[in-house]
Amino acid sequence: MHFTVKTSLCALSIAVLSACGGSSSSESTPSKAEVQQKCTKQNLHSFWYDTLEFEYLWLDELANPTLNFSEYIETNHLLYDVLPARDRFSFALPTDQWNATISGESFGFGAEFGPVGNELIVYQVYKNSPAETAGLKRGDKIIKIADVDAPTIIAWLNTYNSEAIADLFGPDTKGYKVKFHWQTPTNSTKVVAIPKDEIDINTVAHYSVQNTNAGKVAYLAFPTGFYLNSAKEIDEAFAYFKAEQPDQFILDLRDNGGGLLSVAARLSLYLAGDKLGKNTFLQITHNYRLASFDSVYSADTMIDPENGASYNTILQNSLNLDKLIVLTNGYTASASESVINGLTPYLDIYQIGQRTYGKPVGFYANDGSYDKRGEKAGFEVCNETLLALNFQTENANGFANYMNGLPVNCAVTNDYPTGDWSTLSDPAQITALNYAQNNSCISSAAKGIKTKNTLQQGIKYQEVSLPGMILDK
C-alpha cells in the first residue's frame, strides 16, 4: 500500500548500463546468523554512505552524517540526514518489494482511489483483479468501506493516517474480504465483499480510436508507470493503432510516476518513428567522478529488444506523428516526463492539464551486490535496494531545466474521473478531444462541463507506486 541499477555502477560497466548484481545460484545461501552479522545498521549504513560518496549525483551537496551509522533507525533516516533538502526523490526499500513492483506485481484489491472534494472517487481498476471482477470501475464513487464512511476515509488519507487505513483493509492475506459500497456514474449502488489477491498490474489502462469531424483520433491511457511488462502492452496497443491509421494522437500520462527509460524510449519511438529513430533521445550526465561515463542515447540503443518488439519492428508499426497531444498532472513524473522532453525536438507537442511533477533526474537500482570498485560486497542478503540520484537527463537540445515541472499549453485545473477510461468524458479528455478537432483550448467551464473543487483533492490510496526514472539499459 502506498500513499501518493545493479550497481555501484557494476564496476563502472555503465557503457551498456545493464542490470547487474545478485548472487549466483551456485553460491551457498547464508545462514540467518550470517545475514544478521552482515546486515547490522553499522555495516549497511556505512556501505550505503560509501556508495553515495562515489555515485550520488549532487556530490558536492552530500553532507557528513550527524550520527554514528548504528544510530540511524533505518536507511531512509540516513538519507534524510545526509542528502540535500532539494532531493525529494531518493529512498530505499526492500529488494523483494522493488523486484515485484518493477515487474508489475502487486497484492490487494486491484483499485486506486482518492478524494475529489468531499467525494472518494475511483481512479484506476486493474484488469483481472478482484476489484474488476466485483464490477468496480474508474469514476465510481465509494460511499463506504466496511463500516467506515467516505468522509472518514478521506480524512485519514489527507492526514496520512496509514495505520487507520491498514486497519480498515486488514491483513495481506489471500482471500481476505472487505465490503465496498459504491455508486456508479449512473447512480446505481453496489455492495460487494472484495477479496485480496495477487495482481498482475496492467500499465496500459486503455487504448482506442475515435471518429471525429477532424478524422480519427487515437487515445492511449498510460497511468501507472513504465514497468518491465509495459513493453509488450505497448507493442499490442501500437499494432492496433497502426491498423487504424489515426490522424491525431492523445497520450494520457496523468498519474504516471515514471519507471524504466527503456519503456519511455519504446513508447517515444512508436510515436515519432523515423523522426526520432537513431537520433538523440536523451543525454545522460553524472557527477564529476563519473563524468567519463556520460552518454548520448538514441531510442534504438535504449530500448530492450529482449523484452518486446525489436527496433525494426517498432519502426514498422510506428505512427511517424508530426503532432502529439499529451495529458499531464502533478503526478506525471520522471520517465514519463522524459517522453515529453525527449520528443520535444522532433514533434509539435501540445500539453493539456496540469504542470508535471518535475524530475529530470534518475537512479540505478542498487541492491548492494557490488561496491564502488565493482567488487562483490555481499549486501544483497540484506534485502534492501537503494534508489539514490545517479544521473540527470537532457533532450537533444540540451534542455533539462524542469525541476519545477513541465508547463501546460492548456490548463485544466479541475480534473477528475467521471467515468471509465473508454468514455473519454473527464474534463482533461474532453479538452483534448476539442483541441484535436478545433485546434483551440476551450476550458471545461466554457464547454459546460460540471466541475468539482479538486483543490481539496488529497493523497490517493495506491497498491502500486514507482516514483522514479530508472536507466535499465
Distance, CA of 15 to CA of 294 (rounded, Å) = 9
pLDDT at 113 over 90: yes
Query: What would the grid cell of residue 53 be?
Result: 560518496
9/101: higher pLDDT = 101
**pLDDT, tens digit, for every residue of 189-221?**
999 999 999 999 999 999 999 999 999 999 999
Q: Which residue has the higher pLDDT, 122 or 117?
A: 122
**Cα(346)–Cα(364) distance, rounded to whole angstroms?**
27
Grid coordinates given for 244: 487504424
In the predicted model, is pLDDT for residue 179 greater than 80?
yes
- pLDDT for 45 beyond 90: yes
Q: How confident is the model at residue 456 (pLDDT cuts 50, 70, 90)?
A: very low
| Average pLDDT of the chain, as a whole number | 90
- pLDDT of residue 349 exceeding 60: yes
Instruction: Spell out the residues 6+ positions from residue 255 whose beta carbon is closer than 8 angstroms to its own.
Output: 123, 124, 223, 224, 329, 331, 332
Q: What is the pLDDT of residue 470?
A: 80
Stretch 133-138: mean pLDDT, rounded? 98
Q: What is the pLDDT of residue 16?
A: 24
Segment 55-64, tens digit of pLDDT:
999 999 999 9
pLDDT tens profile 396-451: 999 999 999 999 999 998 889 999 999 999 999 999 999 999 999 985 444 544 44
pLDDT score, position 10: 30
- Apex CA 309: angle with CA 303 and CA 311, to 5°? 55
Whole-number pLDDT of residue 469: 81
Does residue 369 have a pLDDT over 50?
Answer: yes
At residue 22, does pLDDT exceed 50?
A: no
Choose the weakest-confidence range: 1-10, 269-278, 454-463: 1-10
Query: What pLDDT does residue 327 have?
Result: 98
| Strand-pair category, 348-353 with 410-411 | parallel
Contact 324, 330 (CB under 8 A): no
Fold topology of 109-200: Pdz3 Domain (2.30.42)
**261-272 and 230-244 helices, crossing angle to 10°:** 10
pLDDT tops 70 at residue 317: yes
Three-state secondary structure readout of the chain: CEECCCCCHHHHCCCCCCCCCCCCCCCCCCCHHHHHHHCCHHHHHHHHHHHHHHHCCCHHHCCCCCCCHHHCCCHHHHHHHHCCCCCCCCEEECHHHHHHHHCCEEEECCEEEEEECCEEEEEEECCCCHHHHHCCCCCCEEEEECCEEHHHHHHHHHCCCHHHHHHHHCCCCCCCEEEEEEECCCCCEEEEEEECEEEECCCCCEEEEEEECCEEEEEEECCCCECCCHHHHHHHHHHHHHHHCCCEEEEECCCCCEEEHHHHHHHHHHHHHHHCCCCEEEEEECCHHHHHHCEEEEHHHHCCCCCCCCHHHHHHHCCCCCEEEEEECCCCCCHHHHHHHHHCCCCEEEEEECCCCCCCEEECCECCCECCCCCECCHHHHCCEEECEEEEEECCCCCCCCCCCCCCCEECCCCCCCCCHHHCCCHHHHHHHHHHHHCCCCCCCCCCCCCCCHHHCCCCEECCCCCEEECCC
Of the listed ranges 19-23, 234-238, 274-278, 413-417, the least confidently predicted one is: 19-23
Of 9 and 406, the structure prediction assigns the larger pLDDT to 406
Q: How far apart are CA 347 and CA 395, in angstroms?
A: 13
The pLDDT confidence band at residue 453, using thresholds 50, 70 and 90, is very low
pLDDT band at 464 (very low <50, low <70, confident <90, very high): low
The pTM of this model reads: 0.90
Residue boundaries of the structural domains of the chain: 5-102, 109-200, 206-362+392-460
Q: Are 287 and 366 in contact (CB under 8 A)?
A: no
Q: 206-362+392-460, what's its fold? A: 2-enoyl-CoA Hydratase; Chain A, domain 1 (3.90.226)
Report percent pLDDT > 70 for the chain. Answer: 89
Gap between the Cα atoms of 122 and 136, Å rounded = 8
pLDDT tens per residue across span 268-311? 999 999 999 999 999 999 999 999 999 999 999 999 999 999 99
Whether 267 contacts 275, CB under 8 Å: no
**Residue 472: its pLDDT value, please?**
73
